[in-house]
Structure 1
């Protein structure tokens, strides 16, 4: 059998925020693509999207859409993934799914390539892309855990509105205009579209992302906790999370407290590890006010780390500040990295 040199790719959810970003990044990367399909809901079918000098017509995603597809990149919501991912696998495609539908399934690898790329080879047709806030955290934590061990993680997030979709960005924009015009701000989407209550996000902070669970944590917080343990192969790691939505359009920021196992470490020790970490950029010079921000991270593929400090009371405790573009590394770029790993390592 002749080995393939180019592959047929399908992007499901091609007209959504993450789908658009996947297409944009694919256009600028040298992934060996033979044919590409852009799939969406029936409502968006028929639209034309430019790609590498051609215009590709968006098709409605149906089970037969995946005939002949080698890799399907899903980012159309959990209900679509539940319905169509099994159909894609039946047609012989390997799926990289960007929703929460399969992340915690025991037989589905949950992957950040800089952290656990080798898990990809264990796939049974589906690889899950983690939650955006989880991706950037584990990219920073895993090299530190490998070097010094890790016992505890406490994270507070400062998450961008785009994590709730393009319409949420539109609502933030509208609320800013309403506020400056001294009008009542209209809120219909946040913190959770399906909840009874909605609060304005403009000039505000909402300590709820996704729905509350019985234990008092939100689903977003539990995703960070459970996904981190799975990705880092650390079921016994103590993790707590508080996830907050801020009026930022792009890029999530996180304040993370960690307790390592090794005693006597310095900030320089952590800097040295982070400087060498794949996919991580250290921006940390308090004397020059150098640290990452959501604006400085937007549009970039890396995970940025700064404000590395030793805890004042615990010799094993450190604080770090982590920022990354939630639509790039937190979604589209990580998805494409997984697809590239499938191809490069012949794990299809």
Structure 2
């Protein structure tokens, strides 16, 4: 283990070249994304689109955005927009992103990028054919602390990773969209994306998965737990639920050291690395919320496009698709199917794609 931790290589978001952003879906996360950009970057909020002109106009008025449209298609075709941030409900990500790409716009799509891997593969294929960037807005992986974690892993300071444990549970008041099955409700996509993304980014595709689920009285899934085995013998354990708050800690065990990311691990904050001979290093960062963290993903996208790249290293599309393949398999085992989905493939097909 090193004597000290590496420094984060994430540049100041103010230094990223500005893009003209359109926001599709003026909801809770979109408002925080817009405010984060306004406070921490030179990015330009050019337009907002919604199925309701009144909602778009209200959002634009609150945040000083010059243009408001009453449809996602109008937003996609707006001439003064370079890239669209898709922040609609999960089950609309696929259609809105494809519409934007067809109109020649880059897209940053809120997590999960789609509700299943097949949809994500369609977005990836269209973006490639059009020469456009499409990226999942999984903000965690763009945070400075995760760049330090990435360096520790890349340099092999943990040794071989043999176990990953990550979970995320939260309480929601009645009436929240997470209880709406027609909106792909349940904890898996809203919360479970974070631990599943961490697990698959570190370990790849599992060769064996065992999942358990519990239904919620609202009709959606209320809790999922899973254990996984990977080709090199590594294991992962996860839980996600909508009943109550959990520590949301992530632990990565290696043959030389153990990494423990403070909860909530997916937010700005700190972590510890402890070697098996007792040495410990600490990364201390002020805990933060979305306002302090969402701007990093927009800045990374802007830098990538300025450099002529059509993908970001922090969250390649292949990793987003891999994460959704695992989520698809968990749902298959538990019997969760979202509205309008095609019949689910077998476990062997999903895990060996």
Matched residue pairs, number? Answer: 252
Query: In structure 2, how many angstroms separate the alpha carbons of the residues matched to 1:101 and 1:134?
Result: 16
- Partner of 1:49 in structure 2? 60
Q: Deviations over 1:225-246 (max 9, x none)?
A: 5422554473345321123558
Q: Does 1:142 align with 2:150?
A: yes
Q: How far is the alpha carbon of 1:124 from its aligned partner?
A: 4.9
Q: How far is the alpha carbon of 1:129 from its aligned partner?
A: 1.9
Q: Deviations over 1:291-331 (max 9, x none)?
A: x777xx9xxx97312465668xx99999999995463466x
Change (3 A) 1:36 1:152: same
Query: In structure 2, how many angstroms separate the alpha carbons of the residues matched to 1:341 and 1:307?
Result: 30
Aligned to 1:340, which of 302, 318, 323? 302
The alignment partner of 1:79 has SS state of helix
**Mapped contact 2:268–2:289 kept (Cα < 8 A):** no
Q: Does 1:91 align with 2:103?
A: yes
The alignment partner of 1:242 has SS state of strand
Query: In structure 2, how many angstroms separate the alpha carbons of the residues matched to 1:325 and 1:144?
Result: 22
The alignment partner of 1:46 has SS state of helix
Aligned to 1:211, which of 183, 186, 189? 186
Query: In structure 2, how many angstroms separate the alpha carbons of the residues matched to 1:321 and 1:9?
Result: 32
Aligned to 1:36, which of 46, 70, 76? 46
Runs of at least 5 residues in structure 2 that lack an aligned partner in the other structure? 1-16, 206-229, 311-353
Q: Does 1:11 align with 2:23?
A: yes
Q: Does 1:62 align with 2:48?
A: no
Q: Does 1:154 align with 2:154?
A: no
Change (3 A) 1:261 1:317: farther
Structure 2 matches for 1:1-348, cutoff 5 A?
7-13=19-25, 15-31=26-42, 33=44, 36-42=46-52, 44-47=55-58, 49=60, 54=64, 56-67=66-77, 68=79, 69-102=81-114, 104=117, 105=120, 124-130=132-138, 141-146=149-154, 147-149=157-159, 150-157=161-168, 159=170, 168=172, 171=173, 187-189=174-176, 192-194=178-180, 211=186, 218=188, 223-232=193-202, 234-235=204-205, 236=230, 238-244=235-241, 254-262=248-256, 265=257, 303-306=268-271, 325=288, 327-328=290-291, 332-347=294-309
Change (3 A) 1:336 1:152: same
The alignment partner of 2:270 has SS state of strand
TM normalised by structure 1 equals 0.54
The alignment partner of 1:303 has SS state of coil
Q: How far is the alpha carbon of 1:95 from its aligned partner?
A: 0.2
Query: In structure 2, how many angstroms separate the alpha carbons of the residues matched to 1:11 and 1:144?
Result: 35
**Mapped contact 2:24–2:86 kept (Cα < 8 A):** yes
Query: In structure 1, how many angstroms separate the alpha carbons of the residues matched to 2:131 and 2:203?
Result: 16
Q: Deviations over 1:266-306 (max 9, x none)?
A: x8xx7xxx9xxxxxxx9xxxxxxxxx777xx9xxx973124
Q: Deviations over 1:79-122 (max 9, x none)?
A: 2222221111011111000032438435868xxxxxxxxxx9x9
Query: In structure 1, how many angstroms separate the alpha carbons of the residues matched to 2:20 and 2:133?
Result: 15
Q: Deviations over 1:28-73 (max 9, x none)?
A: 244354x711222315133253588x55353223323222332111
Change (3 A) 1:10 1:141: same
